[in-house]
Homo-oligomer: A and B are copies of this chain.
Amino acid sequence: MSITVVGSVAFDSVETPAGKRERCLAGAATYFSLAASFFAQVRVIAVVGDDFGAAEQAVFDAHNIDTGGIEHTAGKSFFWQGSYLENLNEARTLRTDLNVFAGFEPKIPSAYRDSEFLFLANIDPVLQRRVRESMPGVKLVAGDTMNYWIKDHRPALLEVLKGLDILLINDTEARMLAGNNNLLQTARTVIALGPRFLVIKHGEYGATLFHGLGKGRTGEQPFRAPALPLEAVIDPTGAGDSFAGGFFGYLASQPELTLGAFRRAMFYGGVMGSFACERFGTERLQQLSRPEIDERFNLFRELTHLD
């Protein structure tokens, strides 16, 4: 099965307690694609500038990622600069240059139209909706968003939610979206907005999958995947996008979308998120192998395993 993803392909300059890097290849669609590429055929829709050259293209090619939907435009690619020196769990944004991304009009190559899986990475909900509506035949649609859209672009975001099967967001975003501090009540509120499945990511504490929540204890129980305590978090940028790539990529690799498949997908999401943090930018994902992924999946399994 193939996945089409729309989102940012960017360059990041980051500073963390472990050091700093200038202009790493990054962006939500990049992290997502690399992570998902270990499980399924991935096709990207994005826009880049003249600074996206042969070296960057080679990273996508090495993972057999279809970049036919990456538009090349005169100017510079999206650039983000952030620091984790004060708090490794939350970036302080030092600079955001939208550059060519400011005029991004996603164009879907006709070769992408038979994708059965669609991932709407964190971009303007107006664009997310447009892409969603241009691909009515997809089997499963997942999406991400962020505080900015939840707070200041709520009506457009609510329209996107109606067209999603799965929403993946973090704790703060979920609570902001629902206006509630209780996780279960938050999940119920968000699911009522459209997505059948909700994945709430808890950073170093793992993530919870909510599905078809009824009142009280009826309906499906939530499912929680752990996160692996890491020896050192070098750069947490892109961990959430990598989680989404592992999660959605694994689902796309499955013959049937059973609840068991969703549960394993949650673990693969955690696995890919943990790898992403081990080096700066997408460095670790670029060098990763499938045996390493499966070895870590088994570690995750062991992490919560009762006899």
Residues of A at under 8 Å CB distance from B?
88, 181-185, 187, 202, 204-206, 208, 216-217, 221-226, 229-233, 260, 263-264, 267, 299, 301-307
Contact = CB atoms under 8 A, between A and B. Distances in A.
A140 B11 CA distance: 54
Contact of A303 (B202, B216, B221, B233): B221
Contact of A230 (B184, B233, B299, B306): B184
Contacts of A302: 221
A184 B229 contact: yes
A279 B260 CA distance: 34
Contacts of A208: 229
A169 to B, nearest CB: 15
A188 to B, nearest CB: 9
5 contacts: A182-B233, A185-B231, A185-B232, A222-B229, A225-B304
Given A216-B231, A231-B216, A263-B306, A204 B226 contact: no
A225 B204 CA distance: 14
Contact of A221 (B204, B231, B233, B299): B299
Nearest to A188: B231
A75 B295 CA distance: 61
A224 B300 CA distance: 9
Contacts of A225: 304
A306 B267 CA distance: 9
Given A301-B306, A304-B224, A204 B231 contact: no
A37 B282 CA distance: 51
B224 A206 contact: yes
A226 B229 contact: no
A217 B303 CA distance: 13
Which one of A216, A231, A264, A301 has the greatest number of beta carbons of chain B within 10 Å?
A231
A260 B88 contact: no
A298 to B, nearest CB: 10
A221 B296 CA distance: 12
Nearest to A297: B306
Contact of A204 (B183, B217, B223, B267): B183
Contacts of A182: 230-233
